[in-house]
Structure 1
Amino acid sequence: MESKQELRQRLRAASRLLTAEERERWSVRIVEQLEQHPRWQAARRVGLYRALPDEPDLSPLMARSGKELYLPRVVSDTELVYLPYSPGMELERSRHFGLEEPELEGAQPIAPEELELLIIPALAFDREGYRLGRGKGYYDRYLSRTGAYRIGVSYGIERVDRLPREDWDLPMDELIYP
């Protein structure tokens, strides 16, 4: 079995082969599925993310949701929080992965137990919903503190039967691919 690092390298290389048109088309398909999903329709407080180049872009969903939206903000070497987001809000580029995040000053993080739905990206998911992220464990630590329903989204460039796992890894409740 490949190590997580080897898988990350291989999947990032494969992702770079996608055209901008493919990324946009596949992101639109994921957004459409999310908008029609009963969990999305019922949820009031939703944690989303701002996409990196190899992640599905959910910005159209964020622009027209009518929900209380929250985006992750890395606040230390081990922790992220979710901060309020509204369409058009100015975001700042963080030193962690170059993410676009809400400004921390003056913002009040939502308590993990108050989120109803989390949409979480990954390089890959396996058949049981375990994710291969970027390797820092931010989402893993957050997921251990929330009861929110977890939907994983990915371009699904390669489907993996079983990812290498650690004791602290937690699966998604459901996965959505283009």
Structure 2
Amino acid sequence: MHCSMERPLRIIKKELRQKMREGLAKIEPALFVQRGKALAQRMREVPQWQTSSTVLVFLSMPREIDTTPLVEAALQEQKQVYVPRVEEDHLRFYRILTLEGPWELGLFGIREPFPQGEPWQPQGLVQGTLAPPVSEETSREKSDAPFPKKNREQPQVFGEDCAVPFQNKSRGRPQALIIVPGIAFDKEGRRLGRGKGYYDRFLHQYGAFLFSVGVGLMEQLVPSVPVDEQDVLLDLVLTV
């Protein structure tokens, strides 16, 4: 979807974000838990989940699909599981061995691991500084650092309740699978976040090492998410 020249992209995103928040607020909390169980079952059918020994996964906040069953499934399958912690303006993922914690409350009241654990670091990455802070609300057009672009085929629709874009064929086998939150997704792998840019920065830096899966309720799948040519596309979108 190309934004109108008369209206800034940040305004279009803000309006869609507000519309989605209002819609999610009307959904019964129990449904997020119920759909989380269905998501874990469906995720186990995804080939990249089956072959990945390492999973990076967010811990849900209110009005997000419950990822607890996903974490439990990964731990049961003896995968290495890493969950995010906000450190200044970026995310860092730390390994967990159980859902029992210990945790501390971070941004938005989300459970976060303490930083004493083992951080995820892709093999073969040249050490360097993190990508500069960038907010979805303000700055992609102002950033000099290009976001990675993926050569993609046309996406397929996998069932009535999930959209599956093809994996990017131009890179090697990813080192890990990352579960990405969002407030809206479309069938082209586009994602609308909450406006802080944490996952955009993370995927900008590490996306070449990861197979990215956006997850949510089927109500979060929209005809088209407003993006520009620099946005990072997800490898797969799974809604239930």
Separation of aligned partners in 1, 2:58 and 2:105: 13
Q: Is the 8 A contact 2:183 2:220 kept in 1?
A: no
Separation of aligned partners in 1, 2:221 and 2:73: 30
Asked if 1:124 corresponds to 2:184, the answer is: yes
Q: CA deviation at 1:173?
A: 0.5
Other-structure match for 1:8: 17
Q: CA deviation at 1:36?
A: 2.4
Separation of aligned partners in 1, 2:28 and 2:105: 24
SS in 2 for 1:111: coil
Greater Rg by CA? 2
Q: Is the 8 A contact 1:112 1:142 kept in 2?
A: no
SS in 1 for 2:205: coil
Other-structure match for 2:204: 144
Q: Deviating runs (4+, > 6 A) in structure 1?
A: none
Q: CA deviation at 1:39?
A: 1.1
AA in 1 matched with 2:22? A
Taking a change above 3 Å as real, the CA distance of residues 50 and 43 of structure 1, as seen in their structure-2 partners, is same
Q: CA deviation at 1:107?
A: 2.5
Asked if 1:155 corresponds to 2:217, the answer is: yes
Other-structure match for 1:175: 237
Deviations, residues 3-51 of structure 1 (Å, cap 9, x unaligned): 1111111111110111133222211111111122221111111100100
Q: CA deviation at 1:168?
A: 4.0
Deviations, residues 108-137 of structure 1 (Å, cap 9, x unaligned): 321145851001111111221111111011
Separation of aligned partners in 1, 2:30 and 2:184: 20
Which piece of structure 1 moves more, 58-67 or 111-120? 111-120
Structure 1 stretches lacking a partner, 5+ long:
none
Asked if 1:99 corresponds to 2:161, the answer is: no
Q: Number of paired residues?
A: 175
Q: Is the 8 A contact 1:125 1:159 kept in 2?
A: yes
Q: 1:67 aligns with which of 67, 73, 79?
A: 79
Separation of aligned partners in 2, 1:126 and 1:11: 13
Q: Please report the RMSD computed on the Cα atoms of aligned residues, expressed in angstroms.
A: 1.8
Separation of aligned partners in 2, 1:58 and 1:158: 16
Q: Is the 8 A contact 2:36 2:69 kept in 1?
A: no
User: Identity of counterpart residues, as a percentage?
Assistant: 31
